[in-house]
């Protein structure tokens, strides 16, 4: 790290991360926090599977089971999958477009800390009277009836972390629109960047629906309104609409970046450019667009009537077309290529059959009349785990192995990586394939136990055994991370040897300013083009000059912390006299720090040309 590279104490490193606005360090923060919540959600999943291993089990009680299933879903979606995706977006996207950072580094940091404090708040419910217990969907009649503060933790926690996500999405949009390097036209952007772009647009339009829904829920539960009380003229179905207008695009928010990561992997490890790049872009945009037209397919049994059901059924089926286009494009990217089976590529290859299986059951679910049978049964559980694990989680594992050298400068062990892959792949199909049949045999989802004599025993045991395989795989990944970090063998710019996009043209990890000189982009797969012409790196698009960098700031942490405090005040307002003062103090911390940010000019600093010249040789060596 150029002139600043000195050994720092633990306190200094901690302070650096608490105040950092560097997209690469924020990516690491997202990776650590998301990884932690992923382990937590995984632990909850294990409790679920242990409880369901045998009929009439009493490993956990009925009420506790509902808390665990709610927190498993909520944690995995909001606090694990999304942050981990944000980690890769932050780490890679600015590098892929040849930018020195995101458009608003301060907001990037704020987005992370809001997510983090929201997630911590939500999980503190375990220690403060019980976690939310109305499912991650938190349907209004049940969530209003739920006693204790569980649902309050859910609503307030998600509100805070949701604000962080929204800020992150806007930031990525602006970054991609404004900060592409010279020559990087839209149709030269790497597929992962395109996925980030469309995903951010989805976040921009989908999250406000959740925000509104959560505010209504907060008002109903904490401030005496009656939006969801039919007896008082409210309506619970409105919540279902709000939730799914957000909730369905959310699926694409998760899976489009996964598609992006796989698109990169297929191209790199087949040594071939992405087949049908422009139709891939078109398909991504179309999926994003259609994703907003289909939310009510989650509500076929709510009683919307045959006209609405038929329209949403056909609209949902339409999504299969662009998704199919993508699958075939990936297959034909590999066709005629020179495939090498590295760990990321194994995940990508396994993704195709797994995700296709999830996709076809999606079409079956889209068919409204048969969905009446599948809805809220284990068939649905199997379907969305095939999509989210087979699509998103596979991509996260693949991305972790692929980008680990770019983020940390060292490679994860390939042998251990492959063991993780094999165990997880077997465990995944063992756990979830049989659940299709459990659903068809009449097992509803979200049940804490089942009576013997209904034909569910063997299959549930099989499913539980599979879950242990997945747990073992994750443990081996953790061991792999520890071993790799201890060894810390440094790698060069392009450790996989076949990198195609800009991020592989610069050192691993990149210097904090990313590009000494912004690169000139001459086509799709910019770095590959240069390599094929025998050049070592990118041609610069500008002369060497001063680089303007933002200053670190502790304010994002404080803003987020204020909301965290205020949330406690809002929640305990009704039963404790200190509620209102705490609410006010929390808001004052947040608004005060925002005020400080507004009036205090922060112009950043410049890295001088001369300092950059000093590091010239180092850069080449690395």
Instruction: Find the binding residues for other proteins in span 509-548 (CB under 8 A).
Output: 532
8-state DSSP, 502: G
Minimum gap (Å) between residue 323 Cβ and other proteins? 9
Residue 524 or 566: the one with the smaller Cβ distance to other proteins is 524
Q: With CB under 8 A as the contact rule, which of the stretches 168-176, 199-207, 352-360, 559-567 interacts with other proteins? A: 352-360
Chain position carrying tokens 């066709």: 335
Q: Is the dihedral of CA 288, 180, 525, 390 positive or negative?
A: negative
542, 517 contact by CB (below 8 A): yes
**Residue 619 within binding range of other proteins, rule CB under 8 A:** no
Minimum gap (Å) between residue 547 Cβ and other proteins? 34
Token pair listed for 344:
């990321």
Residue 612: HSE in the Cβ half-sphere, 13 Å Cα cutoff: 17
Minimum gap (Å) between residue 416 Cβ and other proteins? 22
Binding-site member from 129, 230, 545, 581 for other proteins (CB under 8 A): 230
For residues 45-84, which are near other proteins according to CB under 8 A?
61-63, 65-66
Q: Which of 429, 536, 524 is nearest to 473 (CA)?
A: 429
Angle in degrees, 0-180, between the axes of helices 150-178 and 105-124, rounded to the nearest 10: 160
Binding-site member from 2, 225, 373, 615 for other proteins (CB under 8 A): 373
**Residue 501 within binding range of other proteins, rule CB under 8 A:** no
Minimum gap (Å) between residue 132 Cβ and other proteins? 12
**Residue 618 within binding range of other proteins, rule CB under 8 A:** no
Minimum gap (Å) between residue 310 Cβ and other proteins? 5
For residues 381-420, which are near other proteins according to CB under 8 A?
none
Residue 428 or 568: the one with the smaller Cβ distance to other proteins is 428
Minimum gap (Å) between residue 617 Cβ and other proteins? 30
For residues 295-314, which are near other proteins according to CB under 8 A?
301-303, 305-306, 309-310, 313-314
Token pair listed for 255:
């899976």
For residues 237-266, which are near other proteins according to CB under 8 A?
237
Cα distance from N-terminal residue to C-terminal residue, the chain: 11
Q: Is the dihedral of CA 20, 23, 26, 32 positive or negative?
A: negative
Binding mask 449-468 for other proteins (x = CB under 8 A): xxx--xx-------------
**Residue 331 within binding range of other proteins, rule CB under 8 A:** yes
Binding-site member from 178, 340, 485, 616 for other proteins (CB under 8 A): 340
**With left for phi above 0 and alpha for psi between -120 and 50, is residue 455 left, alpha or beta?**
left
Give me the long-range contacts of 53-58 (CB less than 8 A, separation at least 24): 53/460, 53/461, 53/464, 54/457, 54/460, 54/461, 55/449, 55/450, 55/451, 55/452, 55/456, 55/457, 55/460, 56/449, 56/450, 56/451, 56/452, 57/449
Minimum gap (Å) between residue 367 Cβ and other proteins? 4
Residue 2 or 141: the one with the smaller Cβ distance to other proteins is 141
Token pair listed for 439:
């659903």
Residues binding other proteins: what is the number (CB under 8 A)? Answer: 86
Minimum gap (Å) between residue 98 Cβ and other proteins? 21
Task: Find how far residue 273's CA is from the centre of its chain.
Answer: 26
**Residue 226 within binding range of other proteins, rule CB under 8 A:** no
**Residue 141 within binding range of other proteins, rule CB under 8 A:** yes
Residue 125 or 270: the one with the smaller Cβ distance to other proteins is 270
208, 166 contact by CB (below 8 A): yes
**Residue 587 within binding range of other proteins, rule CB under 8 A:** no
Alpha-carbon Rg for the chain in angstroms: 24
Residue 248 or 445: the one with the smaller Cβ distance to other proteins is 445
Token pair listed for 103:
């458009």
**Residue 187 within binding range of other proteins, rule CB under 8 A:** no
Binding-site member from 4, 177, 212, 321 for other proteins (CB under 8 A): 321
24, 91 contact by CB (below 8 A): yes
Token pair listed for 210:
């959740």
Whether residue 351 is preceded by a cis peptide bond, meaning omega within 30 degrees of 0, is no
Task: Find how far residue 180's CA is from the centre of its chain.
Answer: 23
Minimum gap (Å) between residue 303 Cβ and other proteins? 4
Binding-site member from 142, 285, 541, 588 for other proteins (CB under 8 A): 142
**Residue 338 within binding range of other proteins, rule CB under 8 A:** yes
**Residue 135 within binding range of other proteins, rule CB under 8 A:** yes
How big is the chain, counted in residues? 622
**With left for phi above 0 and alpha for psi between -120 and 50, is residue 275 left, alpha or beta?**
beta
d(CA 179, CA 97): 7
**Residue 11 within binding range of other proteins, rule CB under 8 A:** no
Residue 56 or 577: the one with the smaller Cβ distance to other proteins is 56
Minimum gap (Å) between residue 298 Cβ and other proteins? 12
Phi, psi of 190 (to 5 degrees): -60, 155
Minimum gap (Å) between residue 176 Cβ and other proteins? 23
Minimum gap (Å) between residue 254 Cβ and other proteins? 22
Longest dimension (CA), the chain: 79
Binding-site member from 25, 49, 248, 272 for other proteins (CB under 8 A): 272
Residue 129 or 442: the one with the smaller Cβ distance to other proteins is 442
Q: How many CB atoms lie within 10 A of CB 603?
A: 8
502, 537 contact by CB (below 8 A): no
Residue 276 or 537: the one with the smaller Cβ distance to other proteins is 276
Q: With CB under 8 A as the contact rule, which of the stretches 28-36, 365-373, 404-412, 595-603 interacts with other proteins? A: 365-373
Residue 223 or 335: the one with the smaller Cβ distance to other proteins is 335
8-state DSSP, 544: S
**Residue 317 within binding range of other proteins, rule CB under 8 A:** yes
């Amino acid at each position: 790290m150029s002139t600043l590279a000195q050994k720092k104490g633990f306190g200094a490193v901690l302070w650096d991360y608490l105040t950092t606005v560097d997209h690469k360090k924020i990516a690491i923060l997202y990776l650590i926090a998301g990884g932690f919540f992923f382990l937590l959600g995984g632990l909850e999943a294990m409790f679920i599977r242990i409880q369901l291993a045998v009929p009439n089990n009493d490993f956990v009680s009925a009420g506790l089971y509902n808390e665990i299933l709610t927190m498993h879903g909520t944690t995995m979606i909001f606090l694990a999958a999304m942050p981990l995706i944000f980690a890769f977006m932050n780490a890679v996207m600015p590098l892929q477009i040849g930018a020195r950072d995101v458009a608003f580094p301060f907001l990037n940091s704020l987005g992370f800390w809001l997510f983090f404090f929201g997630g911590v708040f939500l999980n503190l419910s375990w220690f403060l009277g019980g976690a939310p217990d109305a499912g991650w969907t938190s349907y209004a009649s049940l969530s209003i009836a739920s006693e204790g503060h569980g649902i309050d933790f859910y609503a307030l926690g998600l509100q805070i972390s949701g604000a962080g996500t929204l800020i992150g999405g806007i930031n990525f949009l602006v970054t991609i629109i404004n900060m592409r390097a010279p020559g990087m036209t839209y149709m030269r952007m790497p597929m992962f960047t395109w996925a980030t772009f469309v995903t951010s647009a989805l976040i921009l339009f989908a999250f406000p629906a959740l925000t509104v829904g959560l505010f209504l829920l907060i008002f109903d539960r904490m401030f005496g309104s009656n939006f969801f009380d039919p007896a008082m003229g409210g309506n619970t179905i409105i919540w279902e609409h709000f939730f799914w207008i957000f909730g369905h695009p959310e699926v694409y928010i998760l899976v489009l970046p996964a598609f992006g990561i796989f698109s990169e992997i297929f191209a790199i490890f087949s040594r071939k450019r992405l087949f049908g790049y422009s139709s891939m872009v078109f398909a991504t945009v179309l999926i994003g667009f259609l994703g907003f037209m289909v939310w009510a397919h989650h509500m076929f049994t709510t009683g919307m009537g045959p006209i609405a059901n038929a329209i949403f059924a056909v609209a949902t089926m339409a999504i299969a077309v662009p998704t199919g286009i993508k699958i075939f494009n990936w297959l034909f990217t590999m066709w005629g290529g020179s495939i090498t089976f590295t760990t990321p590529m194994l995940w990508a290859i396994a993704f195709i059959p797994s995700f296709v299986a999830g996709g076809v059951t999606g079409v079956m679910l889209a068919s409204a009349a048969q969905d009446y049978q599948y809805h809220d049964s284990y068939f649905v559980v199997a379907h969305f785990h095939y999509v989210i694990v087979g699509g998103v989680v596979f991509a996260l594992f693949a991305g972790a192995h692929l980008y680990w050298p770019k983020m940390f400068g060292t490679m994860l062990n390939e042998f251990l990586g492959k063991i993780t892959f094999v165990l997880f792949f077997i465990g995944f199909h063992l756990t979830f394939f049989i659940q299709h049949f459990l659903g068809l045999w009449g097992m509803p989802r979200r049940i804490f136990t089942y009576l013997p004599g209904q034909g569910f025993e063997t299959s549930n045991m099989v499913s539980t055994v599979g879950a242990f395989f997945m747990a073992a795989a994750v443990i081996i990944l953790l061991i792999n991370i520890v071993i790799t970090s201890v060894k810390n063998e440094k790698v060069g710019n392009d450790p996989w040897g076949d990198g195609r996009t800009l991020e592989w043209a610069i050192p691993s990890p990149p210097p904090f300013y990313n590009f000494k000189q912004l690169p000139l982009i001459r086509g799709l797969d910019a770095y590959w083009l240069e390599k094929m012409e025998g050049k070592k790196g990118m041609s610069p698009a500008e002369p060497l000059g001063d680089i303007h960098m933002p200053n670190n700031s502790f304010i994002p942490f404080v803003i987020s912390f204020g909301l965290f405090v205020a949330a406690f005040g809002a929640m305990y307002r009704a039963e404790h006299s200190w509620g209102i003062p705490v609410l006010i103090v929390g808001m004052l911390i947040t608004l005060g720090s925002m005020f400080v940010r507004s009036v205090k000019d922060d112009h950043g600093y410049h890295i001088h040309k001369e300092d950059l010249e000093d590091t010239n040789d180092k850069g080449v060596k690395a």
